[in-house]
Structure 1
C-alpha cells in the first residue's frame, strides 16, 4: 500500500469536522478547497443557522501560497497561516 496523508479539519477544541486521505506525494495546499467544500453543516447549540464554513482557518507554512489565500478570501474565511521563511 502506498504512503498516505490524513488531512484533518478540526474546530477550536480539536473536534474533527472533516477528514480527507490523499497520497503522500500530494502537496498539503492542494486539499484546502476539497476539504472545505465537503465539510458537513455544523449545528451550534441554541438558535441560528447552521455553519457551512469556518470563520478563520489556521494552518502551517505548507498552506502559505497565493492560491490558498485567494480561495479563502473568496469564501470569506480569515487566513491565519504561518509564513514561509524567517
Structure 2
C-alpha cells in the first residue's frame, strides 16, 4: 500500500500540499490522541475521491480510519485546499493534471 500512497501523493505534490494545509487547531479541552499523519490522510483522501470508492470501503492499509479521513477531507475542502493546490501546481503540467483531477473529483464529493 505504501507504493500506491507514494503514487497518489508524490514527493513533489506533498511538498506543495503540506505548505498549503490549514494548521491544526489545538483541542480546547486538551489531551486526546496525537494528530494523524497528514501525508497518510492525504493519500487516503486522494484514493477515495479519485477511485470512486465509498468512504466506508477505505482500505485499512492506508493506516487512517474512515472518520479521520472524512473529517480531514471536509476540513481541507472548507479551506479550499483542492483549489489552492491546483493554483500552486499550474506551472508543472504533469502535476497540474493530477491535482486538477483530484480537485474535480473532490468537488463532486463535497457537493453531492
TM-score, normalised relative to structure 2:
0.28
Larger helix proportion of the pair: 2
TM-score (norm 1): 0.33
User: Greater share of strand residues, 1 or 2?
Assistant: 1
